[in-house]
Amino acid sequence: MMRFVLALGTLLAAVAAIPAFAQPTQQPVEIRFDARVGTEPARCGQAYADVGTAKAGLRFQDMRVYVSAVKLIDASGRAVPVTLTPDDQWQSDQVTLLDFEDGSGNCNGNAATNKVVRGTVPAGDYRGLIFEVGVPQAVNHQDPTLAAAPLNVTALTWPWRVGYKFTTIDLQTSGGAGGPNAATGFSIHLGSTACGEGSPMTAPSAPCANPNRPSYRLDGFDPAKSTVILDMGALLAGTDITVNAPKSASGCMSFPSDGDCIAIFDRLGLPFDSKPSSGQKWVRAE
């Protein structure tokens, strides 16, 4: 009997020592983006009509956007950060460059494009998405010639006291009523402003007063099936892109008091000149 008990004990100990099948603790995730003008894909080399308050014509010259602070919303409603996968081109561990221009038609840049944020999250069921358009404060003010990808594209920066252009959307425009303020180009260069006094080639000692990083939440977003749509037509719907506000830079360069930014900031979901936004109107999920 004693030998039976000892044998049984040995067997139970051996069973207990067998490791359970390891469950994956992390799962890869890809979050897809696309740019549109209403229902049409926004592409270089294509012409678009009826844009903005002047029902103007439009051709793209650039379409690049930095996104960061990406989170998925799990089944319990908890926002779970996505750990970005650096690739030495489009992503670091803090920011992703979305590049919708392919160098064709009137577009700047080159043929390479990127419409995906890649990373990992804890294994689970996710039903929503949160992200920001912008470069995080910690890496927003640096010499781009010394920065790692994707923050090494000098065309996407201002002097580093101000930092990076979070959106570089450049347009060739046509139509409109003409007049002394008529313009054939319009840009949307979103970035931080009011970054303190000092040399433009030094980083500010404190965060900029106007960080201008809009945050978006898409409930019901399924990372396996959904795509984030950035609708340029909706972003420009309240703006006449055939004129430029007097004594201001071309289009909306984020500077306070630039009249070309009023409707665009409202549709980005950002306050402008102390006026709160009525809510973003250009980001949706399909």
For the chain, what is the HEC assignment? CHHHHHHHHHHHHHHHHCCCCCCCCEEEEEEEEEEEECCEECCCCCEEEEECCCCEEEEEEEEEEEEEEEEEEECCCCEEECEECCCCCCECCCEEEEECCCCCCCCCCCCCCECEEEEEEECCCEEEEEEEECCCHHHCCCCCCCCCCCCCCHHHECCCCCCECCEEEEEEEECCCCCCCECCEEEEEECCECCCCCCCCCCCCCCCCECCCCEEEEECCCCCCCEEEEEHHHHCCCCCCCECCCCCCCCECCCCCCHHHHHHHHHHCCCECCECCCCCCCEEEC
Is 80 exceeded by the pLDDT of residue 5? no
Which amino acid, one-letter code, is at 117? V
pLDDT tens per residue, range 210-250: 999 999 999 999 999 999 999 999 999 999 999 988 888 88
Is 80 exceeded by the pLDDT of residue 84? yes
pLDDT category, 176, cuts 50, 70, 90? confident
Mean pLDDT for 185-191 is 97
Output the pLDDT for position 109.
Answer: 85
Mean pLDDT for 70-81 is 97
Output the pLDDT for position 249.
Answer: 86
Mean pLDDT for 121-138 is 97
Where do we find the tokens 């939440």? 217
Tell the burial category of 238 from Cβ atoms under 10 Å away from its Cβ (0-12, 13-18, 19+).
middle
201-208 long-range Cβ contacts below 8 angstroms, 24+ apart: 201/143, 201/159, 201/160, 201/161, 202/160, 202/161, 203/141, 203/142, 203/160, 203/161, 204/141, 204/161, 207/137, 208/162, 208/163
pLDDT tens per residue, range 10-59: 544 544 554 555 556 999 999 999 999 999 999 999 999 999 999 999 99
Output the pLDDT for position 6.
Answer: 47
pLDDT tens per residue, range 193-211: 999 999 999 999 999 999 9
84-90 long-range Cβ contacts below 8 angstroms, 24+ apart: 84/117, 84/118, 84/119, 85/118, 85/119, 85/120, 87/118, 87/149, 88/148, 88/149, 89/114, 89/149, 89/150, 90/114, 90/149, 90/150
Burial 90-113 (b: 16+ CB within 10 A, else e): bbbeebbbbbbbbeeeebebeeeb
Output the pLDDT for position 190.
Answer: 98
Output the pLDDT for position 3.
Answer: 53
Q: Are strands 26-37 and 227-231 parallel, antiparallel or unpaired?
A: parallel
% of residues, the chain, pLDDT over 90: 82
pLDDT category, 108, cuts 50, 70, 90? confident
Mean pLDDT for 86-99 is 98
Output the pLDDT for position 23.
Answer: 59
Output the pLDDT for position 154.
Answer: 94
Comparing 69 with 3, the larger pLDDT belongs to 69
pTM beyond cutoff 0.85: yes
Output the pLDDT for position 15.
Answer: 45
Neighbours of 121 (CB within 10 A): 19
> Where is average pLDDT lowest: 3-7, 98-102, 120-124, 260-264?
3-7
Output the pLDDT for position 89.
Answer: 97
Comparing 98 with 160, the larger pLDDT belongs to 98
Mean pLDDT for 155-177 is 94
Comparing 191 with 274, the larger pLDDT belongs to 191
% of residues, the chain, pLDDT over 70: 92
How far is the C-alpha of 99 from the C-alpha of 147, rounded, in Å?
Answer: 18
